[in-house]
Chain A
Amino acid sequence: MKRVSSSLKSKCPTFACSPKRARRLKRAPCSFAPRRGQAWGNLPQHVVLQIFQHLSLVDRARASSVCRCWNDVFHTPDLWRRFEFELNQPASSYLRSTHPDLVQQIIKKHAQHLQYVSFKVDSCTESAEAACDILSQLVDCTIKTLGLISTARPSFMDVSQAHFVSALTVVFVNSKSLSSIKIDDTPVDDPSLKVLVANNSDTLKLLKMSSCPHVSPAGILCVADQCHGLKELALNYHLLSDELLLALSTEKHVNLEHLRIDVVSENPSQSPFHTIKKSSWEALVHHSPKVNVVMYFFLYEEEFEPFFREETPVTHLYFGRTVSKEMLGRIGLNCLRLVELVVCANGLEPLDEELIRIAERCKSLTAIGLGECEVTCSGFVEFVKMCGERLTQLSIMEEVLIPDSSYNMEQIHSEVSKYLGRIWFPDMMPTW
């Protein structure tokens, strides 16, 4: 059997043996040596199952053609709990697709075994439509985890909303035990969320729906109100409201573990973002003291006004576009729970002051990444000194650091390494 994983190799006796040993075994049969032509097909099924679990799908499928027993094992429900449908068109992707015959077989024989299902589609509408078709056929199943993932452009958004929603609700209605759903970048809407809630409110633990433009704050509020086991939620800022945070913090609700918020602007002249009251944030943290609040910003500089004016319990912050010096100053002031800060770009003025304030006040900070920014070498060393060894991730582009009278580029790496307690270099980009 080829391609047994390396960890398996070390634990189980290998079937391949050296020529010398093989000769010995032939001459002196013992109970471990398989007799020619006899034992392979008679291996106990649970042994074959264990082996199959270590094989790739292709190898398993090949093995299933060997004999009836192995074919039976191939179709054991346990091997079909988890499946990832990959739907790609050659015109729009370099990746292969799950074979349509296999898809048919699964729907026919294994739909009821499926528990953890995901669909990976490329940027072609056809692929997303194929995913919807499969979804519509998963009638007799008890799916626990469902993921709809676009690997390139979000092609689910190109599918007709009616088609998508009806396919999705088939699963929502039939599974009745959904615990984890990932439907980012899809045309899901408020009515479908109502259906989800009506059938799965007891079991739902994770819901990721960033960039679902057809959902309204009321729609998501319905989920928070009814699904008290919800531990992880990902959505866009326009769906976030004071009511939502309060609903997630009621007594009946479990502790929220992870709240992911994407803040994206359509164009620079859109109406300003609403603010969330400090009291709503406080309620959230009071109810779920360990909650991680992850915020990803993709805004124009002037759109940041409403944010971080007051204490905000954000733990992981990513700025995908330029963020101003002033904003970084506010973060040092008001984001005391900060664990990770990643800044794509800032500007041409050194951020020394802002960084030092962050080091002072954000005592939980363990990761920082800076792209197109400027920091003087002395300021940077000061920052690292203050943070010390708690900084496990320090990713600074080389261009960020400005040599000054105290340090040049050669010295910076040894100074910083000293305070971090490990060898450190800035991130480099090829220059040629």
Chain B
Amino acid sequence: MVVNTIHWFRKGLRLHDNGALRDSIRRSDSLRCIYILDPWFAGSSNVGINRWRFLLQCLEDLDASLRKLNSRLFVIRGQPTDVFPRLFKEWKINRLSYEYDSEPFGKERDAAIQKLASEAGVELMVRISHTLYNLDKIIELNGGQPPLTYKRFQALINHMEPVELPVETITAELMKTCVAPISDDHDDKYGVPSLEELGFETEGLTTAVWPGGETEALMRLERHLERKAWVANFERPRMNANSLLASPTGLSPYLRFGCLSCRLFYFKLTDLYKKVKKNSAPPLSLYGQLLWREFFYTTATNNPCFDKMDSNPVCVQIPWDRNAEALAKWAEGRTGFPWIDAIMTQLRQEGWIHHLARHAVACFLTRGDLWISWEEGMKVFEELLLDADWSVNAGSWMWLSCSSFFQQFFHCYCPVGFGRRTDPNGDYIRRYLPILRAYPAKYIYDPWNAPEEVQKAAKCVIGLHYPKPMVNHGEASRINIERMKQIYQQLSCYRGLGLLASVPANLNNGTNRQLQAGSGEDASAHEGPSRTERLHSTQKRRHEDSLNEGSSKCWRQSK
């Protein structure tokens, strides 16, 4: 029987460690690798130009790599549920492979495609390779609930089976039995579109600071490891002014799009560590970047409301303010705080900012100063940030706004002091906000405090050439810490005076079953609903009390 295969690229835009592709080539007579471009998405304003460009560069790179294997990438416009029945018929497909997508909407979309496939008699091949582990197994290990703290997650990881080795890269040898039927008009029909074709204005667009693609990703991985080996230090690097700038060894966008396999990164790190540290066991902190990503994927996979506050079982209900004008100032880098504005400018121009910069702007928008919902910040990051996908972006925003995961909320990042400590000279500000270039280091973080002569000499008068600060940080943080305290005290039913004790300790991590011996997590047995469940039922109750759908008749006099 002739086996005609489609491999469907979504994330996992690579030929190395691509288990689904690798397995589907076996005993396949023809193979077409496709990428489905949803035209509705292209028009949607919530994906910025940098993200589109990165994606298109990934697709170009894939296409180039496939060409070397006598194949091509097929870019198809349309929605998957429309596209597949057509392709199954036209190409006489009987096998479909893709990398497993753990996100709730991914699972929903794939369920629909599975149905179509089974109706058309198409065999499915799905492999896990976007995450280190099978996330369902982690959840199972935690009694059917996702872990709600990172510490808990780490404890579970210690009990999981070791990470599977990356699968071998696709080579011409492997592909030799497989034909890729390419027509002469392939480029017209199935070629990778350009930014202009998608409707973007590219006049004045600077070169990408983060070029997309698997080739670039693998090169960066090598450089990243070289640098680590040279430093021979695997501790978390202390933050300095240079860390703020885009690094040629940065890997996060490549992990997000799947140009780089997380498993490959994992094993390369392990090998390097063992070599440099003479075979001692690597600590979990070595994989910090990968494990945080994994943690958020795990918490999100069974929660379609993960990116919202309303109806989200893991999210604290906080009475955020609705203020479109304030939000716009933040998003567009016009807050009047150079540190915040420079970060948002870098984000918009380049698509990446350092994680501490993310903390600073997220804190400023939410619990620190503006008291605006984290959902708004998440949407802005979704548009601009190259490495933000649904799970990680939502999870991080909830974390940074202290809306979940049992975070202490006392530490507020000062929009003046934090930047000043990181980069005392202010070079970062000068680079991204050239209007402030002539300010001396003393005043560059709080130019509104500079005497008139200094402002005039710098040819930038505050209020005229650069906005005045949009809030009084001391006043705003005073009010906000009080708000957070009120909310948390209500949740934890804590009536004492301590600030730290207001945050409930998540003893049971949302499950009543404990991990066996030596898990490194304290667990106290208790009966009755866990603290977490009580927390959520209190929240639910409050929410219901303010509901009044259809209940207006109740309030009227019944006599």
Interface residues in chain A, defined as those with a beta carbon under 8 Å from any beta carbon in chain B? 3, 5-7, 56-59, 61-62, 64-65, 68, 71, 86, 88, 91-99, 101-102, 104-105, 120, 122-123, 149-154, 184-185, 210-211, 258, 262, 264-266, 268, 292, 294, 296, 298-299, 315-316, 318, 320-322, 339-340, 342, 344-345, 347-348, 367-369, 371-372, 392-393, 395, 397-399, 403, 408-410, 422-423, 425, 427-432
| Given the contacts A298-B477, A321-B474, A428-B150, A122 and B319 also touching, CB distance less than 8 Å | yes
Of residues 445 to 496 in B, which have CB atoms within 8 Å of A's CB atoms? 449, 472-475, 477-479, 481-483, 486
Measured between beta carbons, the chain B residues less than 8 angstroms from A154 are 479
Contact of A94 among B285, B322, B520 (CB under 8 A): B322
Contact A342 B410 (CB under 8 A): yes
| Interchain CA distance A369-B499 in the complex, whole Å | 9
27 contacts between A and B (CB under 8 A): A56-B541, A58-B551, A62-B554, A65-B553, A68-B558, A93-B319, A93-B320, A94-B319, A94-B373, A99-B555, A104-B555, A151-B319, A262-B478, A318-B410, A348-B421, A367-B499, A369-B408, A369-B410, A369-B500, A371-B412, A428-B150, A430-B395, A431-B236, A432-B292, A432-B293, A432-B355, A432-B387
| Given the contacts A152-B319, A403-B235, A409-B235, A211 and B478 also touching, CB distance less than 8 Å | yes
Contact with A along B524-559 (1 / 0, CB 8 A): 000011000000010001001111100111111110
Given contacts A58-B548, A397-B411, 4 further A-B contacts (CB under 8 A): A262-B478, A321-B414, A429-B400, A432-B289
Contact B319 A95 (CB under 8 A): yes
| Interchain CA distance A258-B371 in the complex, whole Å | 28
Contact with A along B212-236 (1 / 0, CB 8 A): 0000000000000000000000011
Contact of A371 among B411, B482, B556 (CB under 8 A): B411
Q: How many residues of B contact A (CB 8 A)?
A: 77
Contact A153 B309 (CB under 8 A): no
| Interchain CA distance A142-B423 in the complex, whole Å | 58
Residue of B nearest to A395 (CB): B408
Contact B412 A431 (CB under 8 A): no
Measured between beta carbons, the chain B residues less than 8 angstroms from A210 are 482
| Given the contacts A94-B373, A340-B499, A61 and B551 also touching, CB distance less than 8 Å | yes
Contact B555 A105 (CB under 8 A): yes
Residue of B nearest to A121 (CB): B319
| Interchain CA distance A368-B472 in the complex, whole Å | 27
Contact A320 B497 (CB under 8 A): no
| Interchain CA distance A262-B285 in the complex, whole Å | 39
| Interchain CA distance A161-B456 in the complex, whole Å | 39
Contact A96 B555 (CB under 8 A): no
| Interchain CA distance A348-B497 in the complex, whole Å | 30
Interface residues in chain B, defined as those with a beta carbon under 8 Å from any beta carbon in chain A? 150-151, 235-236, 239, 252, 283, 285, 288-289, 292-293, 296, 309-310, 319-323, 355, 359, 371, 373, 387, 392, 395-396, 399-400, 407-408, 410-414, 417-418, 421, 449, 472-475, 477-479, 481-483, 486, 497-501, 520-522, 528-529, 537, 541, 544-548, 551-558
Contact of B546 among A97, A367, A369 (CB under 8 A): A97
| Interchain CA distance A178-B13 in the complex, whole Å | 68
Contact B557 A105 (CB under 8 A): yes
Contact B319 A427 (CB under 8 A): no
| Interchain CA distance A62-B150 in the complex, whole Å | 42
Contact A367 B500 (CB under 8 A): yes
Contact B410 A58 (CB under 8 A): no
| Interchain CA distance A410-B284 in the complex, whole Å | 9
Contact B359 A429 (CB under 8 A): yes
| Interchain CA distance A372-B558 in the complex, whole Å | 59
| Interchain CA distance A59-B547 in the complex, whole Å | 10
By Cβ-Cβ distance, the 5 closest A-B pairs, closest first, are A371-B411, A61-B554, A101-B555, A151-B319, A96-B546
| Interchain CA distance A3-B547 in the complex, whole Å | 15
| Given the contacts A122-B319, A316-B499, A345 and B418 also touching, CB distance less than 8 Å | yes
Contact A320 B477 (CB under 8 A): yes
| Interchain CA distance A57-B542 in the complex, whole Å | 10
Measured between beta carbons, the chain B residues less than 8 angstroms from A88 are 319
| Given the contacts A149-B486, A403-B235, A425-B151, A264 and B500 also touching, CB distance less than 8 Å | no
Residue of B nearest to A298 (CB): B474
Measured between beta carbons, the chain A residues less than 8 angstroms from B239 are 399
Contact of A99 among B323, B371, B528, B551 (CB under 8 A): B551
| Given the contacts A95-B546, A432-B289, A320 and B319 also touching, CB distance less than 8 Å | no
Contact B555 A393 (CB under 8 A): no
| Interchain CA distance A58-B407 in the complex, whole Å | 32
Contact A152 B417 (CB under 8 A): no
Min CB distance B122 to A, Å, is 36
Measured between beta carbons, the chain B residues less than 8 angstroms from A62 are 551, 554
| Interchain CA distance A403-B486 in the complex, whole Å | 36
- Give the most central of A101, A149, A368, A431: most B CB within 10 Å: A431
Contact A294 B497 (CB under 8 A): yes
Measured between beta carbons, the chain B residues less than 8 angstroms from A367 are 498-501
Contact B498 A316 (CB under 8 A): yes
Contact A153 B392 (CB under 8 A): no
Measured between beta carbons, the chain A residues less than 8 angstroms from B553 are 65
- Give the most central of B537, B548, B557: most A CB within 10 Å: B548
Measured between beta carbons, the chain A residues less than 8 angstroms from B449 are 268
| Interchain CA distance A57-B548 in the complex, whole Å | 10
Contact B545 A342 (CB under 8 A): no
Contact A86 B481 (CB under 8 A): no
Min CB distance B283 to A, Å, is 5
Measured between beta carbons, the chain B residues less than 8 angstroms from A95 are 319, 546
Measured between beta carbons, the chain A residues less than 8 angstroms from B500 are 340, 342, 367-369, 393, 395
- Give the most central of A68, A91, A153, A430: most B CB within 10 Å: A430
Contact A321 B497 (CB under 8 A): no
Contact A345 B546 (CB under 8 A): no
Contact A431 B410 (CB under 8 A): no
Contact B546 A344 (CB under 8 A): no
| Interchain CA distance A367-B396 in the complex, whole Å | 27
| Interchain CA distance A385-B235 in the complex, whole Å | 25
Measured between beta carbons, the chain A residues less than 8 angstroms from B392 are 432
Residue of B nearest to A61 (CB): B554
| Interchain CA distance A262-B522 in the complex, whole Å | 37
Contact of A316 among B252, B497, B528 (CB under 8 A): B497
Min CB distance B243 to A, Å, is 11
Measured between beta carbons, the chain A residues less than 8 angstroms from B320 are 93-94, 152
Measured between beta carbons, the chain A residues less than 8 angstroms from B547 are 58, 96
Residue of A nearest to B520 (CB): A423
Residue of A nearest to B317 (CB): A95
Measured between beta carbons, the chain A residues less than 8 angstroms from B408 are 369, 395, 427
Contact A56 B544 (CB under 8 A): yes
| Interchain CA distance A3-B541 in the complex, whole Å | 10
| Interchain CA distance A65-B449 in the complex, whole Å | 62
Residue of B nearest to A104 (CB): B555
Measured between beta carbons, the chain A residues less than 8 angstroms from B486 are 149
Measured between beta carbons, the chain A residues less than 8 angstroms from B418 are 345, 372
Contact B558 A65 (CB under 8 A): yes
Contact B474 A430 (CB under 8 A): no
Contact A6 B537 (CB under 8 A): yes
| Interchain CA distance A34-B531 in the complex, whole Å | 36
| Interchain CA distance A101-B528 in the complex, whole Å | 38
Measured between beta carbons, the chain A residues less than 8 angstroms from B556 are 101, 105
Min CB distance A184 to B, Å, is 8
| Interchain CA distance A92-B479 in the complex, whole Å | 17
Measured between beta carbons, the chain B residues less than 8 angstroms from A430 are 292, 296, 355, 395-396, 399-400
| Interchain CA distance A154-B475 in the complex, whole Å | 11
Contact A57 B545 (CB under 8 A): yes
Residue of A nearest to B256 (CB): A432
| Interchain CA distance A146-B289 in the complex, whole Å | 49
Contact B498 A340 (CB under 8 A): yes
Measured between beta carbons, the chain B residues less than 8 angstroms from A315 are 497
| Interchain CA distance A408-B236 in the complex, whole Å | 11
Residue of A nearest to B479 (CB): A154
Residue of A nearest to B319 (CB): A151
Contact A318 B499 (CB under 8 A): yes
Measured between beta carbons, the chain A residues less than 8 angstroms from B529 are 6
